[in-house]
Chains A and B, each alone.
Chain A
Amino acid sequence: MRGKFKQIVTELAERDDKVIVILGDVSVYQFDQFRQRWPDRFYNMGILEPTLISVTAGLSAQGFFPFVHTIAPFLTERCYEQIKLDLCYNRFGGNIVTCGASFDYAWDGPTHHAYTDLAILRLLPGMEVMQPGSRRELDVLIRTQYANGNPSYFRLSDHPHDVDTGEVVFGRGTVVHRGSRDVTVITAGPLLGNVLEAVRDLDVNLLSFHTIKPIDQALIAQFAHTRILVVHDAFGLKEAVNEVAGLRVWYHGFPDQFCGWYGKLDDIRQKLGLDATGIRAAVLGMLENRERR
C-alpha cells in the first residue's frame, strides 16, 4: 500500500503544486523520484514526530496540502497533543499517513505496534479517520480528502485485502454480504480479507468500513435489529459502532494486554483468534447461541 500511496501523491503533485511530502525517515526510497523531481516539496525532515506535525500545521497555514508520513505509534500516540492542538484546534489541515499498524511490524514487539491510533484520533474534533483496507480504497480516499482543509488520518497496511467493496465513498460503509440470520459482522480495514474468508458460507450480514470517523451510522442502524459482532484488530471501530443507539454489540478483537510475541502479522492474528479460523469460531458461537449476551 506504501507503493500505492507514493503513486497517488506523485500524481497529485503533478497537477497541484501545493502538495508537499514530509517524511520521518521512513519510506524514503519510495519517494526517490519525487525528491529528484520536486526537491523543494520533499522533506525527509528528521526523526522528531511532534515537530513534523507542528511543521505540517505551519505549512497548512501557508496554503499547502502536506502529507506527513512515518510509523504509526510515533506519529499518533507520541504527538497526540500536536495533532489535537496544532492541527485540530487551530483548524490547520493536513494528511497524516502512517505505516506499521496494527502489527505490520509484529517482530519489533509492543514499541512498534499501534492499535490505539484510530480510537484516540476519532476523539479529536474535526479529525477524519480512515483505515483503507485495499489499494483501491486508499486511492479514492486520498484523492477526495487530501485538500479539503481538514486534518485527515490515513492508516496504510502492508497486507491489504483485494476484496471488491463496491463504490468507495468517504464516510460510507459497505454491505459485503447479506444473510438471513440475526447476526451482523462488522469489520474495518485489511482484516476484511480474513473475515470474508471466515464467513463466506455463513448466513450472516457482513459490513466493512474504511472510514472510522465519521462512521456510517445510517448503514449500521439498518442492522440494529440483529446482534452485532465487531471483529477488528484495533480499538476505535467498536467504539464508533457503539455510538449508534439501541445496538446489541459484541467484540472479537484486541485484548487488554501487550502482544509481545514477535513473528509476523499472521502469527499475532492467529494468537488473538483473528485468523479466519478464529473469526469463524466466534461467528459460529454467535449463531449457535441466539440469547448470547
Chain B
Amino acid sequence: MNATCQKIRADILSISHSSGHGHIPTCFSVVEALYAVYRTLRHRPTEPQWAERDLFVLSKGHAALGHYCTLAAFGYFPVAEVGAFGAFGSLFGCHADRFKVPGIEASTGSLGHGIGIAVGMALGLKIQRSARRVVTLVGDGEANEGTVWEAVLVAVDQKLSGLTILYDHNKSQRRCLQIPNPADRFRAFGCAVTEVSGHDLDQLEQALSSFVADKPHVIVADTVKGFGCQTLCDEVFAWHRRSPDSVTLAQLMEELYAG
C-alpha cells in the first residue's frame, strides 16, 4: 500500500477512535481514489480559492472523514485540526460544510445531490470555454437515488467532457438494492466508461488523466469496503458507523501496517 494512503487510513482510524464518529469502511474504500484525485487535479492547497483550480465534489458525503484526512495529507490544514471531528463547535462536521473547511467545493451529506451540483459546475465551465474540470465521487449505495441517474442523463445530453464521475463500486448494497454491472449501465446511458481497480493508484491516475470528446467520463472503481484492515472487510455492516475502542484501534493499526 502507498505510504500516504496508509497514513490517511491511520488518521481516519485515530480520529474515529478519539471522536467516536465516522464511517470507516466507506472511507477506506475511497482512500486511493481521493489520493489520486488530488494528485491529478490542478489545485493549490495554500490557495484553496485559486481561480484556475479544478473542482472536486464529494457526492458520497459519508466519506467526509476520509476527504478531510486526504486534504490534510496534501497540506490544506494540519490533520490535528480534524481531531475535533463531529464535536460541538468544530469546523469539521461528519458531513462537510464548504464555508468551514478549505478545499470543500460543495456542502454534501444527503445522497444524490453532489453529482447534480457537479453537473451544473461542469456546464458553467463549458459555457465559459474553460479548461478547468470537475470530478465528483459517487457511491454505489448513493446510486440508489434517482437523482444520480437524472444527473447522468443531463451530463450526457450536454456533452460534458469536462466532468469525471468516479464511481465507488464497493458493493455496499449487498443486503439492499444492488446495482450489478455499473459499467454497462453507465455505457448504456451514453457515458465513456473506464473500469479500474479502485486501490491501484496507477490505474486511477491514468484514468483520471484521460478524457473522451463530448462525453462525461465515468471511472468505475472496483473497491473493497474496509480495504486495508481485514477485520473491517470481514464485518462491513457491523463497522458501518462504529468507532474503535483503544484495544480495537491497536488491532486495526496492526492489520493496517501488516498489510
Contacts and interface: CB of A to CB of B under 8 A. Distances in A.
A55 B119 contact: yes
A57 B151 CA distance: 13
A59 B123 contact: yes
Interface in B101-137: 105-107, 109-110, 113, 115-125, 127-128
A59 B127 CA distance: 10
Residue among A60, A81, A89, A92 with the most chain B CB within 10 A?
Answer: A89
A40 B124 CA distance: 10
B157 interface: yes
Contact of A46 (B99, B118, B128, B157): B157
Contacts of A85: 107, 109-110, 113
A125 interface: no
Contacts of B147: 48, 50-51, 54, 82
A110 B117 CA distance: 31
A61 B116 contact: no
Contact of A82 (B113, B127, B154, B158): B113
Interface string B192-234: 0000000000000000000000000000000000000000000
B153 A54 contact: no
Given A46-B153, A50-B116, A90-B98, A41 B127 contact: yes
Interface string A42-79: 01011010110111111111111000000000000000
B127 A55 contact: no
A86 B105 CA distance: 12
B150 interface: yes
A18 to B, nearest CB: 10
Contacts of B113: 54, 81-82, 85-86
Given A41-B127, A82-B113, A90-B98, A58 B119 contact: yes
Residues of A contacting B: mostly: helix
Contact of A61 (B99, B117, B157): B117
Contact of A81 (B98, B110, B115): B110
Given A40-B127, A55-B154, A86 B117 contact: yes
Interface residues of B, number: 28
Interface in B136-159: 147, 150-151, 153-154, 157-158
Contacts of B98: 90
Contacts of A90: 98, 106-107, 117
Interface string B78-105: 0000000000000000000011000001
A55 B123 contact: yes
Contacts of B109: 85
Contacts of B124: 58-59, 61-64
A91 interface: yes
Nearest to A48: B150
B109 to A, nearest CB: 8
A50 B120 contact: no
Contacts of A48: 147, 150, 153-154
Interface residues of A, number: 29
Nearest to A20: B127
Contacts of B121: 58-59, 61-62
Contact of B120 (A40, A56, A91): A56
A61 B150 CA distance: 20
A126 B250 CA distance: 46
Contacts of A82: 113, 116, 147
Nearest to B134: A58
A59 B99 CA distance: 18
A43 B125 CA distance: 15
Nearest to A81: B110
A54 B117 contact: yes
A59 B120 contact: yes
A213 to B, nearest CB: 22
A51 B107 contact: no
A148 B70 CA distance: 35
B105 A61 contact: yes
Given A58-B124, A62-B128, A90-B106, A45 B117 contact: no
B150 A51 contact: yes
Interface of B: 98-99, 105-107, 109-110, 113, 115-125, 127-128, 147, 150-151, 153-154, 157-158
Given A48-B150, A58-B122, A85-B109, 12 more contacts: A43-B158, A45-B154, A45-B157, A46-B153, A48-B153, A51-B116, A61-B120, A62-B120, A62-B124, A62-B125, A63-B124, A85-B110
8 contacts: A50-B147, A50-B150, A58-B106, A58-B116, A59-B123, A59-B124, A61-B117, A85-B113
